[in-house]
Structure 1
Amino acid sequence: MRRRISERLLWRCGRRWSRSSSSSSSVSTQLLRNIGISAHIDSGKTTLTERILFYTGRIASIHDVRGKDGVGAKMDSMDLEREKGITIQSAATHCQWGEHHVNIIDTPGHVDFTIEVERALRVLDGGVLVLCGVAGVQSQSLTVDRQMKRYDVPRVAFVNKLDRAGADPWRVIEMVRKQMALNAAAVQVPIGLEERHVGVVDVVSGRSFLFEGARGEVVRVGDAPTEVRDLVEAKRVELIERLSDVDDDIAEAYLDQGDVDDDALRAAIRRATVRRQFVPVFMGSAFKNKGVQPLLDGVVDYLPSPVERDGIMALAVDDGEREVPVECDGSEPLLALAFKLEESRYGQLTYVRIYRGTIRKGGTIVNVRTRKTTKIPRLVRMHANEMEDIDAASAGDVVAMFGVECASMDSFENAADARGLAMSSMFVPRPVISLAVAPKKNNKGGTSNAMDAFGAALQRFAREDPTLRVHVDPESKQTILSGMGELHLDVYVERMLREYKVECDVGNPRVNYREAIATRADFDYLHKKQTGGSGQYARVIGYIEPLDDGEADDDLDEPFEFVNNVVGTNIPPEFIPSCDKGAREAIARGHLVGAPIEGMRVVLTDGVTHAVDSSDMAFRAAMHGALRSAIEKARPAVLEPIMSLEVTVPAEFHGDVLGGINQRRGLITSSEISDDGGTALVAADVPLALMFGYSTDIRSISQGKGEFTMEYKEHQPVTSDTQAALIKKYQEERAAKLKEKK
């Protein structure tokens, strides 16, 4: 049995697949895998994807991620990505591994582009969580883990960079268990670490895999080396024990026989992985071309096909969004979800996941949200920035279509048999930083040309990226660009210059403060206005109170709840929506620093109307005035965004880093030095307002050897002196603007 398994693996690892076999428009759903490759920044995701494409024959040679060879990695097709050495946009590709068709989405690791990971995991059936063999679980690793759990995505883990000094896969697995609370165990044991890393041993079969050749394309399969056999046996026992906790069949077999058959063990790993009760851990070094082919075997062996994903639900739009189960069946009526938009020279490119039915070139589909019908002029499979035309694609597949105008997260059905079903949307984090942007005057083309291109760029970027918000400040009339971080906004400003030839004047970064109330306050407000003829009359009675932490939904732009507790018709039902609208207008801009007021419930209990003078406008104005007065009595406070900061520096600079964080009012949450004493890792919660320019400071402190990542955590009240300073600054700015108007 083990000889047969090793021959199968050698055949898979050694075979190179032609492009013609991977571009077929007809894919068996059972043999389909939709996976995303996700990790913390610089953990090797794109490098791993590059090797996968090489070993499956999708590319003829391997190129450097940072583009030093003048070509760059296949999946980083944007010039900015190659220059910066990071992935900015998720990119889709597909390949063939044995009989299996694998759709792959390579996602960014930088937290500023986390929406790209979010939208990919929303539609995929499995994930590869890449972990650095030296650093282990990092801040963005935890974010990706939360995203995978949010969408119930089964995953395998790949401990990368085992060729690096200080690599310790067992420490990484322990971090996965403790910090991510995952039932994880190794299915491989490395043969050597650091510069001695040459291959891996499969814990299930006991066979070794040595990677030879200029690009690791020659895989030599044999018996496990003597020096690791005891470790392999110990890890096999640990694997069985971990599976026994979640799989009764394995537990019974192990208790009865003292061991488990290889095929039974593989089947148990697959069952537990698909049920999201276990995470098999693979090992290797993508950069050194080791361990990638067995990982591909793990993807097809342990991750589910689309038909194996359970709990997929659609919403009946015309029936109160009642949940309806969706079966992955190509013969059923079409149901597809647009999860990513891109603007190209051919028009809008819409990436879609097909949950049910078949989508065809030339077919007519209906947008469930807008009810508009559209004919599909072109259907393609993506290979990074290249396209391969296909005629049709069926349930479970991920493809792209041209000529279909829609928004991200729109659902589609066939026009002939539409049933009003839509897939649920995704979680979209709120922006934490803003910039005022305006096009510089174009002496050659004129200001109007620059303004047209500027507007077109912002409209396109906001449609493609839900975390990028654009609005015009009502007082300053400035165009405000809001996003997830400095790098996020810098990239879009740079893209405006490169793609639209619009150079922008950029203001100083602005923190997105919010306001909140601390206690309950009642209101009883009369709005009465008489100017001749019909006047305005409305009285509203009720109270406001803060929402509990669990009630404030981060999924919303403005966590807010309006409750109508009016008994009878003291306020006629037709005026209730006006009260709701007036309340929302009142919380749009607080009186402390002009920030939105969030985390508040408004309860309307009673009111009074006038037979002639009551109107929609009167109740809207009454509610607006009532809340403005009530908020002042509810102890309003200013909230600031708090970021989770993670800094990695050589241990000699540990103390300097701690001192710098303390100067920025940071709260140290953990501080540790690696076992070899070479690296210090510091985690802290810091106010975003005090973190501008930190990249320069950390380079100065660590002689250019340090790096850091930041991720939005929550909004917290500012200190009393900070609040006083912010209020004073806001009042001075308002006074200056009023003076300018006069």
Structure 2
Amino acid sequence: IRMYSGKINTGTYVYNATRRLKEKVTKMVRMHANRQEIIEGISAGDIAAVIGLKETKTGDTLCKEENPILMEAMRFPEPVIQEAIEPKTKQDQEKLGLALHKLEDEDPSFRVTYNQETGQTIICGMGQLHLDIIIDRILREFNVEARVGEPQVAYRETITKKVHTSGKFIQQTGGHGQYGHVVIEIEPQDIPGKGIEFMDKIKSGAIPKEFIPSVKQGILDSAKSGVLAGYPVTDIKVTLVDGSFHEVDSSELAFKMAASIALSDGLKKAHPVLLEPIMDMEIVVPEEYMGSVIGDLNSRRAKIVSLSVRQNLRTIRANVPLAEIFDYATILRSLTQGRASYTMEPSFYAEVPSHIAEKIITGFTSDSLRRV
């Protein structure tokens, strides 16, 4: 923890203002590389490790209960790289799950998800080095050997054209059937990054109000898997403009299915494109290596944003596709004899060039055929 004011001693209680609960500080240590120094207390300006806090997470605010204060929450960027992970032996499956859960609690920029379709556990992080460190910690701290798959870029899909489309779901099973019919307009968002926006412009009760939430849910569910390569759809505006219902056969399920059918059909007609994450990268490099680094960045489809001077060093700001900079730490060390450093974070999504998009889509199609 970092102490901003006051002091804390071992054995005292602190109030977690974020989670509104009290926790006891059982032990405090000051870290010196790999050596720990046990201390009795800390005061303003100190940074120390605290033992005994069971519910406190990264980013929480600790204070006195009689003087509560809540500091501004930390902003953590969304992960942009993912790998499939599995234990080398089935006996370690439970241990791996516990290890991943603990590491996810400690590191808000690390995420763990489970893919229902493939049955794989997916770990997501901020870069290849981030995930490599996670794998190393799983082995060192939890004694679990794990295998990881090829890193996957978190691509997205969107559209470039406004279309008018409809979807019907009709099913007769002898008794009550199913009937749902929706008409929607799909168009690109004016401002990138707004996600999926749903608007209801139904007039004259063409669809009863109780079915509108089901239509929206059908749209959102269908948008989780795009029509090009199965990636999530983003930055589209969907407007419900018309439809019809049956007094007996219409149901929430029927309208949810009809909306899903309509969106899938509309996406195919709306000139869909693939989007890729673009990283905002800053590289600090000695002047004699700047030419080599810029040349390498250009070969990776980077766009140089600015060049500046810091004493005898040069700073390069660039926007680079994530797919082009896996293992960039190793590449940069090789180019500069280990004398350069870089930082990067996700910035925005941009359209993938057509020749690269074709390879991604072809790979997705081939994988689908193999699974079938």
Q: Does the pair score TM above 0.5?
A: yes
Which residue of 611, 624, 637 corresponds with 2:247?
611
Distance 1:476 1:672, change over 3 A: same
* 1:513 and 2:155 matched: yes
Match of 1:714 in 2: 348
Q: How many residues align structurally? A: 351
Q: Aligned partners of 2:222, 2:196: CA distance in 1, in Å?
A: 12
Question: Counterparts in 2 of 1:433-582, with a 5 A limit?
Answer: 433-441=81-89, 447-448=90-91, 450-549=92-191, 552-553=193-194, 559-582=195-218
Which residue of 320, 325, 335 corresponds with 1:686?
320
User: Is contact 1:643-1:710 (8 Å) kept?
Assistant: yes
Q: Which has the higher contact order (CA 8 A, sep 6+)?
A: 2
Residue 347 (structure 1) shift: 4.1
Deviations 1:448-492 (Å, cap 9, x if unpaired)?
4x1111122223333444433322223322111112222322232
Q: Aligned partners of 2:36, 2:313: CA distance in 1, in Å?
A: 30
Q: Aligned partners of 1:545, 1:617: CA distance in 2, in Å?
A: 25
Residue 693 (structure 1) shift: 2.5
Question: Counterparts in 2 of 1:290-439, with a 5 A limit?
Answer: 347-349=54-56, 352-353=60-61, 359=65, 393-396=66-69, 427-439=75-87
Residue 345 (structure 1) shift: 7.5
Q: Aligned partners of 1:436, 1:479: CA distance in 2, in Å?
A: 6
Deviations 1:352-393 (Å, cap 9, x if unpaired)?
5379xx73xxxxxxxxxxxxxxxxxxxxxxxxxxxxxxxxx5
> 4+ residue stretches of structure 1 with deviation over 6 A?
24-27, 72-75
User: Is contact 2:161-2:271 (8 Å) kept?
Assistant: yes
User: Is contact 2:109-2:126 (8 Å) kept?
Assistant: yes
Distance 1:73 1:490, change over 3 A: farther
Q: Secondary structure at the match of 1:394?
A: coil
User: Is contact 1:641-1:715 (8 Å) kept?
Assistant: yes
Distance 1:467 1:522, change over 3 A: farther
User: Is contact 1:513-1:641 (8 Å) kept?
Assistant: yes
* 1:704 and 2:352 matched: no
Higher strand fraction: Structure 1 or Structure 2?
2
Residue 589 (structure 1) shift: 0.8
Which residue of 657, 661, 664 corresponds with 2:297?
661
Residue 647 (structure 1) shift: 1.9
Q: Aligned partners of 1:604, 1:94: CA distance in 2, in Å?
A: 59
* 1:726 and 2:346 matched: no
Deviations 1:276-327 (Å, cap 9, x if unpaired)?
xxxxxxxxxxxxxxxxxxxxxxxxxxxxxxxxxxxxxxxxxxxxxxxxxxxx
User: Percent identity between the aligned chains?
Assistant: 34
Structure 2 unaligned segments of length 5 or more: list them.
1-5, 15-27
Q: Aligned partners of 1:489, 1:732: CA distance in 2, in Å?
A: 27
Match of 1:634 in 2: 270
Match of 1:265 in 2: none
* Matching residue's letter, 1:504: A
When Rg is computed on C-alpha atoms for both structures, the one with the higher figure is 1
Higher helix fraction: Structure 1 or Structure 2?
1
Residue 639 (structure 1) shift: 0.5
User: Is contact 2:128-2:327 (8 Å) kept?
Assistant: no
Distance 1:625 1:103, change over 3 A: farther
TM-score (norm 1): 0.44
Distance 1:571 1:428, change over 3 A: farther
Q: Secondary structure at the match of 2:35?
A: coil
Q: Aligned partners of 1:511, 1:579: CA distance in 2, in Å?
A: 30
User: Is contact 2:202-2:242 (8 Å) kept?
Assistant: yes
Q: Secondary structure at the match of 1:594?
A: coil
Deviations 1:254-277 (Å, cap 9, x if unpaired)?
xxxxxxxxxxxxxxxxxxxxxxxx
Q: Aligned partners of 1:72, 1:669: CA distance in 2, in Å?
A: 43
User: Is contact 1:651-1:673 (8 Å) kept?
Assistant: no
User: Is contact 1:536-1:613 (8 Å) kept?
Assistant: yes
Deviations 1:478-513 (Å, cap 9, x if unpaired)?
111112222322232223223322211011211110
Question: Counterparts in 2 of 1:590-609, with a 5 A limit?
Answer: 590-609=226-245
Match of 1:249 in 2: none
Distance 1:655 1:622, change over 3 A: same
Structure 1 unaligned segments of length 5 or more: list them.
1-19, 28-57, 76-92, 96-101, 108-341, 360-392, 399-423, 442-446, 554-558
